[in-house]
Amino acid sequence: MSQVRSRIADRGRIGAALAALVLLTVAGCQLFFPPFRRNPDLRLLRSGHVAGGSALSHPIVSPDGSQVYFLCSDQPTNIGYFRGMLWRTGFNDSVAVQILPDTFISMAMSPDGRRMVLGTYTYSRGRRLVTIDLSTSAVETIPSAEDISAWDVEFSRTVAGRVYYTDRRTGLHRIDIDGSNDVLVDSTVKRYFDLTPSDSVVQARFSKPKVDPTGRYVAGMVSDMDPNIAIIDLTTRDTTLLRANPYRTADMEFPYWTPDGKSLVFAAAEWQGEPHGTRPAELWVLDNVFTR
């Protein structure tokens, strides 16, 4: 009987040791991989299945803050090299509306919100810049801005009807939408850029930068072991990393300020690891950007 009690006691001690080991293992995992907690100021604006496609990107907020224009593709693509058809949604709408069926790779909105300029996408040479009048839906090609390798485009902040665009072969150009005053501005700027209120050029090393409405801050993607969005003070050069990732590991691109300068709309895709890559990109909103 005493031997039986001894074996039972041994089993009890072994069970307790195993339980302790499990607890330590769980605690260790939580230490190195703490539970992911999404920023409460983050909210999903739209996912692909609602908009009629699988991947959304390149959001642009209208100057009155009521509408968000974006590119929508039915083919999942690398979020940093996005292309798609032009769609529109509101911040509180349950539906989205397709504006143009063609495929575009870049776009910008005029400061008055009446017109957009878009860079068309083709696999071969022959990309061009087109404009759309948002009140009439009339589309026109900008003369002289044809057969270019368009990458990014922005409206001038100081001259009405003038746009800046990057050609990956030649650099940064400016041109009026009637095709006049075509000038090569800087041969070294060939990818993403933005403009300050005085039309000074702002670049980012990794992705599309976006200057806030005051002209003091620029939002951009930082690409490292933990991709996220950073805010740079153009006056002090101080950098603030935002808690903008909607998933533990996410790809994020194309931040765009709301007109009040308090929120950012951006594209994000959850990373699934190799060989799966990312899920289709969605549109997210980070409110209270400057609230710590």
Provide mean pLDDT across the span 15-36. 46
Strands 129-133 and 84-90: unpaired
pLDDT of residue 148: 87
Q: How confident is the model at residue 20 (pLDDT cuts 50, 70, 90)?
A: very low
Cα distance between the two ends of the chain: 67
Q: pLDDT tens digits for 67-87?
A: 999 999 876 656 666 789 999
Q: Which two tokens stand for residue 168?
A: 């990956």
- Quote the pTM value: 0.84
Q: Is the pLDDT of residue 46 over 50?
A: yes
Render pLDDT for 247-289 as a digit per residue (tens, 0 to 9). 988 888 999 999 999 999 999 988 776 655 567 889 999 999 9
Among 199, 117, 194, which residue's Cα sits nearest to residue 157? 199
Report which of 70, 38, 73, 31 is spatially closest to residue 52, judged by C-alpha positions. Answer: 73
Structure confidence at residue 147 as a pLDDT band (50, 70, 90): confident
pLDDT of 80 reads 62
Q: For residue 215, give every residue at least 6 positions away whose Cβ sits within 8 Å of its Cβ, in sequence order, or none.
A: 196, 197, 198, 234
Q: Which of 10-19, 33-42, 73-82, 276-285 is the least confident region?
A: 10-19
> Of 102, 65, 98, which is closest to residue 213 (Cα–Cα)?
65
* Reported confidence tier of residue 7, pLDDT bands at 50, 70, 90: very low
Q: 25 pLDDT exceeds 50?
A: no
pLDDT, tens digit, 9 for 90 and up, residues 230-246: 999 999 999 999 989 99
